[in-house]
Every structure is written in C-alpha cells, then in structure tokens.
Amino acid sequence: MPTIPTTPSETGPDPVGGPGPTARPTTEVTPGAEPSVPAAQVAAGAESSVAQPSAAELARAAAELAGGLIAPPAPVRLGDVVPAPEHVTPDPAADFTLTGDEAIRVDPAGRDVAEQLAALLRPATGHPLPVADTTPGPDGLLALTLSGAPLDAGATGADLGAASGADLGAEGYRLDVTANGVRIVAATPAGLFYGVQTLRQLLPPAVESRTPVAARWTLPGGSIVDRPRYPYRGAMLDVARHFFPVSDVLRVIDHLARYKLNHLHLHLTDDQGWRIAVPGWPRLATVGGVGEVGGGPGGHYTADDYRRIVRHAAARHVTVVPEVDLPGHTNAALVAYPELAPDRVAPPPYTGTEVGFSYVDPASERTYDFVADVLAELAALTPGPWLHIGGDEAFKVKGAAYTGFVERVQAIVAATGKTVVGWHQIAPAAHADGRVLQWWGTTGDDPVTAEAVRRGARLIVSPGNHAYLDMKYAPDTPIGHDWAGLIDVRKAYDWDPGSHVADVSAEAVLGVEAPLWTESVTSLPEIEFLLFPRLPAVAELGWSPRSTHDWAGFRARLAGHGPRWTAAGITFHRAPDVPWPAEPDSPAATTPAIPAQPGPDTATEPV
Ligand code: TNX
C-alpha cells in the first residue's frame, strides 16, 4: 500500500513560507482518504471564512455520520458511568429521587466539593441545596464524608452500609444510593470530587442544563466503590500552534475533570509561538508570542493568566504540566532572542506546520541561562511536581550534542525541585531521578525507550495511533491529521496502556495522556469536536481496571453521554460506531450537538 504523507502543508501551500520541509512521520492509509475540508484550509485561521468549517458544517457532517443509529432513550443505570467504576452493585429497590428539600452535609474539609456539587445541581433542578456541616437533616440527604468521620445514619434511618475511606486511596470513593439518600465517602477531597462526578452522571442528562428543567431527578440505587488504575491521567493542549484564550483552557479543564482526568499538559512553546511571559526575557512573549499557524494574531499568557489556569485546575483536582519544548521547536524564541540561535541571526516568524528545523544553540552558555530562567519561572508558577522539557524532533541536534543538552536541562529541572518529563526522544540521555518519558510511538516496539525504563524512567503512554486527538476520526471528518492513522472511537479505546510498549513492565507505566496538537484546530468547538467522544475513551483506559475493558459495554455507556454533552453545550462528533440515543426534546435528535454560540463562561461554571 502506498504511503501517503498527509501533513497539512502538503495539502496546500503554507500561508507563509518557512524553512524547507522535514520528513514527518507518515503512515499507510487507505488511498483516497482525502479530507472533506483540507487541513491547510482549516489551518488558514479564523480570517478565512471560506476555508474554516462552521459549526453548522460540523453539525451537518456529524449528522450524516450519525445515520440511522438513533436508539430510544433509556433510564440511567448505576453501571452507566464513564470511566467504568471498579465495583458496581445495583439495588433497583433503592432508587432515590430528589425532593428539593435536601441539604448537602459535608465534613468541613470537603466543603469546596460540596459547594461544587450544589453549583452543579442547582441550575437544572432549581433546588436550593444548602450546604451544611455533617449531621443529616430530616428530609433526605446528600452526604459527603471524609473517611473516619462518622455519618449519623441513624438520624434518617438510612442504612448506607459500611463505608470507609481507608481502602480507597488518594483518589478513590464509595458512593451509596439508598431510598433515604446519597452518601459519598472518600479519604480525600479529590476522592469526594470524583464521587461527585459519578453522581452527576447518575442523574438524567438534563442535569447538565444551566437553566431549570422539569424532570424527576432520580438516582439508581446501589453502591459503587471506585479507584483509579493509574495516578497520571491526562490530556495535552497545544496552545502554541494556535493560541487559545484562558476561557477556552478553563473549559477544557472542566472536560478533563468530568472524566476523572487529573493532568493538563500545556504545550506552551513551539516554532509558531511562545505563549508564556518570562521575567528577564520579555520579548519571548511580546515578540515570540505574536502569530500562529496560518498567520493569525497568536497571543501569550501573563503570569496572572497562567495562575488563573492553575487555580481553576487545582479546584478540579487537575495538575497543570507546563511544557517548554527544547532544544528544537524553538523558532519563536529565536525570533525574539537571536542570541540563542546557532548563527545568532533572527529567523523569520514561522506560520507553517513543518517541524525539526529550529534549535537553540546547545554549545552556548547563554542558552542554559535562558533555559534556567524559563524553567525557574514555570517552577515558581506551577504547584504541581512536573516540568516537561519537550525534546522531540530536534533533528538538527544530534548524538552527544543532544544527549548532553538534555542532561544539562534535566539537572536544571532538578535544581528547581521539580521532576522532569520529556517526549520519549530524550530516552538516550542519562537517567535523572524520577524522570518520566512520554511515549508517542506508533508501534509498541521501542528498545531505546525500554532501555531507559530499565535505567529507572517511568512512562506516560500516548500512542500516536490511538491517543492522538489531532488525528482524524475518518477520512471524511473535518479537522486534523492522519500521519499516525485514523482514530475512530474504537481505536482510541482498544489498547492497553499496561502492555502497549514492548519490554516495559506494567509497574513502570505512570499513566496515559491524550495529546491535542493544534496545527489544524482554531476554535473551542473544533477542540471539543476532536475531544468528544475520544477523550472519555482514553480517560477510561487511565481510570478503569482492565477487567472492565469491553468495547460493547463502553460504546453503550458512552452513547448515554451524547445527551449530556448536548445539554452542556459541548460540541461532539456523532461517531458512527456509537449508538447515540434519540434526543426527543432537543433538535440534536436530528442535528448534533454543536452550539451556534460558545458554551457558558467556564470561569463561573461549576465543576
Ligand atoms: C508530532 S508528537 C509532534 C508535534 C506535532 C504532531 C502533529 C510530538 C512529540 N511532536 O510537533 O504537532 O506530531 O500530530
């Protein structure tokens, strides 16, 4: 089968010429797999109203794909949760219906989560749901209990069973629905938060509405005991190829949290733009931040912008992982500071989509001053433990020059007190304490990465041909690439992070991440179109025990989320491999859920 290179720049000329093309990974795809909307047109940016698919076009495309797969709606069952919980014990005799008189009772340390639950439920239900400390009230209850704090079940006659946070770990929870109320028990606020995400999914989809809905708010009876498989469950957003405002990033964080993902990797710098202000190097943001793929304006985050992102994430138990891509992918930095370039000459700004041509001079001490200042600032702004140094596709820094550079940068990260993460290309460099490689290969056979793991590295697994959210779903879906293959929902779901990379022990796998590169992605609806429904698939691989893995069961559970996304104003792809239910009260029964307007302002949104 012929190999068809399908980078956006090969479907049309780059809007602004750049350095000569460099070979990109290609894959064998079915001949004739032409995009219905050429990626280069999509990449041409918001100014090109002809080229960019409108929300309506996306909607039509998705509607066509939905075809005849519309099935009647079904009531929510206790097991209809994504990601699949570890243990589900339904008790159909114990359904609980909110009356409107409930209070949310919570241990003081869990108060924030209780407020989030209230903020989630109030708009659609119209219930007042006051939040109060512990003792259950007489009229039914929603109780959030941190382990060790006893619930006075006798006050309501509730028999919620023995529930202890002790075995639930740092993120697990137990959720009990009885005829008398609902209780979530966890050892930590994070565990309570994940219990709340599950509770949210057990209510009818209309709970996602931000305006009152007349509905019977019934939760299916029984117990769920749930813990994650991996401590690292993430997604990446590339804000360098196209820049996205803080509000978009906040909304992406909300999407992660909904599916119990706990890391947001921000790809902050690349050839097309430098997106974070750095004290002492002001031109990185003011000059390097200007522009993006296709020639749009670009932009950058101030320290306050970044803090806002970090705060929003932390409130949703999401850790931000900032990436500064080094030594390659640095054209924007070189435009701002030519002293970092090997020839000390400023290159032109770059708005194309090739890779591998730029690099900071690994032989110059000034480069390491720059790296140290940048990483010190990110370390200061970032509460989480990780700093991601990129390291991919530095085709012009080879051999000892490359490994020597990576080893120095690893040491700089260590000096900030953070733990280094890098794309798996950094594998040949010496081990550094705790270091993590993010593996993005397309075949699981990678002896160099396996050897780095034997020397002590851990892995975040992001297979390009399963977890890359910028790959197209199908030849005829708009937006995205296909160099790593087409990724439909089943392909996103049907792999095992624990055994994917040959000769890597299951214990070395820290978790999974789904990267979204944005050469072809220009807006929030386009981000959401690529995230949904594949992000929940990857989230399930990160959270759920392998024993629950079952495509038939997953697609059935996932189908029930379409109406939730519709109610929440989330754009999604009505993938033909998922049996979406009809949505009788919504035009989305025939046209998919792509809002004409962006969704609600995330900053004021609940969870
Ligand atoms: C490869 S994956 C890249 C990115 C591109 C992406 C497009 C990786 C570490 N590098 O620079 O954006 O392909 O799919």
Question: What's residue 142's pLDDT?
Answer: 87
Judged against a pLDDT cut of 60, whether residue 28 lies above it is answered with: no
Q: What is the mean pLDDT of the chain?
A: 85
Q: Using the atom order of ligand 1, give the atom closest to the CA of residue 393.
A: 10
Question: What's residue 145's pLDDT?
Answer: 86
Q: What is the whole-number distance in angstroms between the Cα of residue 328 and the centre of ligand 1?
A: 12
CB 500 within 8 A of CB 449: no
Report the distance separating Cα 466 and Cα 512, nearest Å: 11
Q: What is the whole-number distance in angstroms between the Cα of residue 517 and the centre of ligand 1?
A: 7
Question: What's residue 133's pLDDT?
Answer: 83
Sign of CA dihedral 114, 115, 121, 122: positive
Question: What's residue 134's pLDDT?
Answer: 72
Q: What is the whole-number distance in angstroms between the Cα of residue 484 and the centre of ligand 1?
A: 10
Q: Using the atom order of ligand 1, give the atom closest to the CA of residue 484.
A: 14
Stated as kind and residue range, the H or E segment containing 142 is: strand 141-146
Question: CA-CA distances (angstroms) from residue 109 to 112, 117, 224, 384?
Answer: 8, 14, 22, 21
Judged against a pLDDT cut of 50, whether residue 603 lies above it is answered with: no
Judged against a pLDDT cut of 50, whether residue 44 lies above it is answered with: no
Q: What is the whole-number distance in angstroms between the Cα of residue 474 and the centre of ligand 1?
A: 19
User: Which listed residue (292, 393, 513, 583) is catalytic?
Assistant: 393
Question: What's residue 57's pLDDT?
Answer: 52
Q: What is the whole-number distance in angstroms between the Cα of residue 374 and the centre of ligand 1?
A: 22
Q: Write the single-letter amino acid at 306.
A: Y
Which part of the chain is CATH 3.20.20.80?
Answer: 232-545
Instruction: Quote the tokens at residue 488.
Output: 């439909």
Q: Counting beta carbons within 10 angstroms of the beta carbon of residue 403, is it exposed (0 to 12), middle (13 to 18) or buried (19 or more)? A: middle
Q: Using the atom order of ligand 1, give the atom closest to the CA of residue 390.
A: 9
Buried b / exposed e across 385-394, counting CB within 10 Å, b at 16+? ebbbbbbbbb
Judged against a pLDDT cut of 50, whether residue 592 lies above it is answered with: no
Judged against a pLDDT cut of 80, whether residue 112 lies above it is answered with: yes
Judged against a pLDDT cut of 50, whether residue 33 lies above it is answered with: no
Phi/psi at 276 (5° precision): -135, 130
CB 196 within 8 A of CB 181: no
Judged against a pLDDT cut of 50, whether residue 275 lies above it is answered with: yes
Report the distance separating Cα 4 and Cα 28, nearest Å: 6
Judged against a pLDDT cut of 80, whether residue 13 lies above it is answered with: no
Rounded to two decimals, the pTM is 0.85
Most informative mutation of 355, 440, 521 for ligand 1 (most atoms within 8 A of CB): 355
Q: For domain 61-150+164-226, give the fold.
A: Chitobiase; domain 2 (3.30.379)
- β-bridge partners, 438: 423, 460
Buried b / exposed e across 57-73, counting CB within 10 Å, b at 16+? ebbebbeebbeebbeeb
Judged against a pLDDT cut of 90, whether residue 15 lies above it is answered with: no
Q: Write the single-letter amino acid at 542.
A: G
Does the annotation mark 34 as catalytic?
Answer: no
- For 51: left if phi > 0, alpha if psi spans -120 to 50, otherwise beta; the answer is alpha
Q: What is the whole-number distance in angstroms between the Cα of residue 81 and the centre of ligand 1?
A: 32
How do residues 446-455 score in pLDDT, each as one tens digit?
999 999 999 9
Q: Using the atom order of ligand 1, give the atom closest to the CA of residue 483.
A: 14
Highest mean pLDDT among 24-33, 138-147, 459-468: 459-468
Question: What's residue 504's pLDDT?
Answer: 97
CB 90 within 8 A of CB 222: yes
Measured by CA distance, the residue closest to atom 13 of ligand 1 is 517
Tokens 């000059």 belong to residue: 287
Q: Write the single-letter amino acid at 256.
A: L
CB 264 within 8 A of CB 313: yes
Q: Cα 546 to chain center, whole Å?
A: 21
Question: What's residue 167's pLDDT?
Answer: 82
How do residues 511-543 score in pLDDT, each as one tens digit?
999 999 999 999 999 999 999 999 999 999 999
Judged against a pLDDT cut of 50, whether residue 151 lies above it is answered with: no
Report the distance separating Cα 578 and Cα 576, nearest Å: 5
Q: Counting beta carbons within 10 angstroms of the beta carbon of residue 17, is it exposed (0 to 12), middle (13 to 18) or buried (19 or more)? A: exposed
Which part of the chain is CATH 3.30.379.10?
Answer: 61-150+164-226
Question: What's residue 114's pLDDT?
Answer: 96
Sign of CA dihedral 527, 241, 438, 257: negative
Q: For domain 232-545, give the fold.
A: TIM Barrel (3.20.20)
How do residues 328-384 score in pLDDT, each as one tens digit?
999 999 999 999 999 999 999 999 999 999 999 999 999 999 999 999 999 999 999
Question: What's residue 141's pLDDT?
Answer: 83
Report the C-alpha dihedral over residues 505, 506, 507, 513, rounded to 10 degrees. Answer: 120
Judged against a pLDDT cut of 80, whether residue 231 lies above it is answered with: yes
Give me Rg for the CA atoms of the chain: 24
Report the distance separating Cα 182 and Cα 242, nearest Å: 44
Q: What is the whole-number distance in angstroms between the Cα of residue 574 and the centre of ligand 1?
A: 26
Measured by CA distance, the residue closest to atom 9 of ligand 1 is 392
Query: What is the rounded average pLDDT of the residues 268-275?
Result: 98
Measured by CA distance, the residue closest to atom 2 of ligand 1 is 440
Q: Write the single-letter amino acid at 123.
A: P
CB 593 within 8 A of CB 566: yes
Q: Report residues whose beta carbon is within 6 angstroms of any ligand 1 atom.
A: 355, 392-393, 423, 440, 468, 470, 481, 517, 519
Q: Using the atom order of ligand 1, give the atom closest to the CA of residue 468.
A: 14
Report the distance separating Cα 272 and Cα 289, nearest Å: 8
Measured by CA distance, the residue closest to atom 12 of ligand 1 is 517
Q: Using the atom order of ligand 1, give the atom closest to the CA of residue 518.
A: 12
* C-alpha closest to that of 459 among 413, 498, 517: 498
Most informative mutation of 321, 331, 357, 393 for ligand 1 (most atoms within 8 A of CB): 393
Measured by CA distance, the residue closest to atom 8 of ligand 1 is 392
As a whole-number percent, the residues of the chain with pLDDT over 90 amount to 77
Phi/psi at 19 (5° precision): -60, 160
